[in-house]
């Protein structure tokens, strides 16, 4: 007879819960456009080819422009592609007695009295790089909503120099390293300050060195085209449902819609009772439960009414990946007290049957899913 009752209770558990609510999955991974951004910048640059000391530094400063697109693959690293260019100024000494002649036509180049000349570059390039979120790497987690981030990057590219004022047309491979100071002013808008160093073959004055370098300083903005977050998909309405029949407690957890798993079955021997009766979910930084979990509180209250000698403990937890330890402990305590107040004030449970315990971040009951730890567990202790 008892086996039959347990089977009936199990059927009610699986069928009744599905009738109450269909779990809804909210995901930030729905489209490729998530965490994709476009950026643009304008600034100044200087070319450091051999002999650059012989031209006034002010004359070496030229405009620098860039337009790009990027995507953060994870909170820790991403990829970026941009188009850059405009102009650079340089200097070349021309020792005529060694047979090294300046570019032609000479009448469009500024030639010095000693045979040296200043030349002008007009160019356009494309480059790709690998980027790191340095502060996310240091903290080991996504700092959602953080005001500042330091983003080092490195990559390679291609640069086309146009024939202009005596300089020849050239196609060059480039390498670059840099760092971006990223200031988040809105969830979809960043302000950036970039410093980039680039190097390439020295075709300006090849007798003096194989490579030449440039340094650019620019300011710009990044605009995100879609969602900007990396939270994994979560279930928002009720994750756990609890039913009590005869002298057996069944605890059911819904992990994925359509897949149910019984995670606890406890017999009437009360000395073994210390199981989770319900798990009340909260959003990050909130001390009031998510909507759609009233049935859990109702069932816990009904069990306590039917069993006056029983008692529960409401344990308050917090997500260890966000907030300070002190803040999370206070928040966890508020969550536990709120659930107790609901059981006592709304559902008429005797206060002596409900105690609270603040756990905070000392224990994380759900491994691998930080946001699930924003929770109050109702544990049967007597």
pLDDT tens by residue, 204-233: 665 566 788 889 999 999 999 888 877 554
Residue bearing the bigger pLDDT, 129 or 258:
129
In this predicted structure, the answer to whether residue 98 has a pLDDT above a threshold of 50 is no
Find, among 127, 131, 129, the residue nearest to 155 by Cα.
129
Find, among 126, 136, 216, the residue nearest to 182 by Cα.
136
* Per-residue pLDDT reduced to its tens digit, 146-182: 899 999 999 999 999 888 776 778 888 999 999 999 9
* Per-residue pLDDT reduced to its tens digit, 31-58: 577 899 999 999 999 888 776 776 677 7
CA angle (29 as vertex; 25, 35 as ends), nearest 5: 140
Of 98-102, 277-281, 335-339, which has the strongest mean pLDDT?
Answer: 335-339
Mapped to the 3 state alphabet, what secondary structure does the chain carry? CHHHHHHHHHHHHHHHHHHHCCCCEECCCCCCCCCEEEEEEEEEEEEECCCHHHCCHHHHCEEEEEEEEEEECCCCEEEEEEEEEEEEEEEECCCHHHCCCCCCCHHHCEECCCCCEEEEEEEEEEEEEEEECHHHHHHCCCCCCCCEEEEEEEEEEEEEEECECCECCEEEEEEEEEEEEEEEEECCEEEEEEEEEEEEECCCCCCCCCEEEEEEEEEEEEEECCCCCCCCCEECCCCEEEEEECCEEEEEEEEECCEEEEEEEECCCHHHCCCEEEEEEECCCCCCECCCCHHHHHHHHHHHHHCCCCCEEEEEECCCCCCCHHHHHHHHHHHHHHHHHHHHHHCCCCHHHEEEEEEECCCCCCCCCHHHHCEEEEEECC
In this predicted structure, the answer to whether residue 18 has a pLDDT above a threshold of 60 is no
Beta strand 354-360 with 312-317 is: parallel
* Per-residue pLDDT reduced to its tens digit, 232-249: 544 443 434 444 433 444
In this predicted structure, the answer to whether residue 202 has a pLDDT above a threshold of 80 is no
Residues 6+ apart with CB under 8 A from 362: none
Give the C-alpha distances (Å, rounded to integers) separating 294 from 145, 239, 300, 333: 31, 12, 10, 20
Mean of the per-residue pLDDT values of the chain: 77
Find, among 97, 183, 113, the residue nearest to 148 by Cα.
183
Beta strand 234-235 with 211-224 is: unpaired
* pLDDT in the model for residue 120: 75
Q: Are 95 and 112 in contact (CB under 8 A)?
A: no
In this predicted structure, the answer to whether residue 264 has a pLDDT above a threshold of 70 is no
Residue bearing the bigger pLDDT, 151 or 257:
151
* pLDDT in the model for residue 206: 59
* pLDDT in the model for residue 322: 83
* Confidence grade of residue 256 (pLDDT, cut at 50, 70, 90): very low
* Confidence grade of residue 274 (pLDDT, cut at 50, 70, 90): low
Q: Are 102 and 167 in contact (CB under 8 A)?
A: no
* pLDDT in the model for residue 338: 94
CA angle (367 as vertex; 363, 370 as ends), nearest 5: 85
Find, among 19, 1, 34, the residue nearest to 232 by Cα.
34
Q: What is the Cα–Cα distance from 181 to 176, expressed in whole angstroms?
A: 17
| Average confidence (pLDDT) over 354-362 | 91
Cβ–Cβ contacts within 10 Å for residue 259, how many? 8
- Percent over 70 (pLDDT), the chain: 70
* Confidence grade of residue 102 (pLDDT, cut at 50, 70, 90): very low
């Amino acid at each position: 007879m008892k086996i039959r009752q347990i089977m009936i209770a199990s059927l009610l558990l699986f069928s009744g819960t599905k009738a109450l609510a269909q779990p809804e999955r909210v995901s930030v991974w729905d489209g490729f456009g998530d965490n994709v951004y476009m950026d643009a910048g304008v600034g100044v640059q200087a070319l450091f080819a051999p002999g650059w000391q012989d031209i006034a530094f002010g004359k070496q400063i030229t405009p620098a422009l860039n337009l790009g697109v990027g995507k953060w693959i994870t909170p820790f690293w991403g990829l970026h592609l941009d188009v850059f260019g405009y102009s650079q100024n340089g200097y070349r000494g021309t020792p005529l007695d060694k047979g090294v002649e300046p570019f032609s036509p000479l009448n469009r180049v500024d030639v010095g009295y000693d045979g040296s000349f200043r030349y002008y570059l007009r160019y356009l390039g494309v480059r790709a790089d690998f980027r790191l979120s340095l502060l996310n790497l240091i903290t080991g987690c996504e700092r959602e909503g953080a005001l500042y981030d330091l983003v080092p990057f490195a990559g390679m590219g291609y640069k086309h120099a146009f024939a202009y004022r005596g300089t020849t047309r050239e196609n060059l491979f480039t390498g670059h390293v840099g760092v971006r100071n990223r200031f988040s002013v809105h969830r979809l808008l960043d302000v950036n300050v970039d410093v980039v160093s680039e190097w390439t073959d020295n075709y300006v004055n090849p007798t003096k060195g194989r490579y030449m370098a440039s340094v650019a300083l620019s300011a710009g903005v990044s605009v995100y085209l879609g969602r900007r977050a990396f939270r994994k998909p979560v279930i928002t309405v009720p994750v756990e449902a609890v039913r009590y029949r005869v002298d057996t407690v069944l605890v059911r957890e819904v992990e994925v819609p359509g897949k149910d798993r019984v995670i606890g079955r406890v017999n009437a021997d009360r000395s073994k009772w210390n199981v989770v009766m319900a798990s009340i979910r909260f959003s990050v930084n909130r001390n009031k439960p998510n909507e759609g979990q009233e049935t859990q509180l109702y069932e816990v209250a009904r069990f306590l009414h039917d069993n006056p000698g029983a008692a529960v403990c409401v344990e308050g937890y917090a997500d260890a990946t966000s907030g300070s330890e002190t803040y999370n402990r206070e928040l966890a305590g508020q969550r536990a007290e709120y659930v107790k107040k609901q059981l006592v004030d709304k559902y008429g449970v005797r206060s002596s049957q409900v105690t609270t315990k603040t756990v905070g971040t000392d224990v994380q009951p759900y491994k691998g899913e930080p946001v699930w730890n924003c929770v109050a567990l109702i544990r049967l202790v007597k």
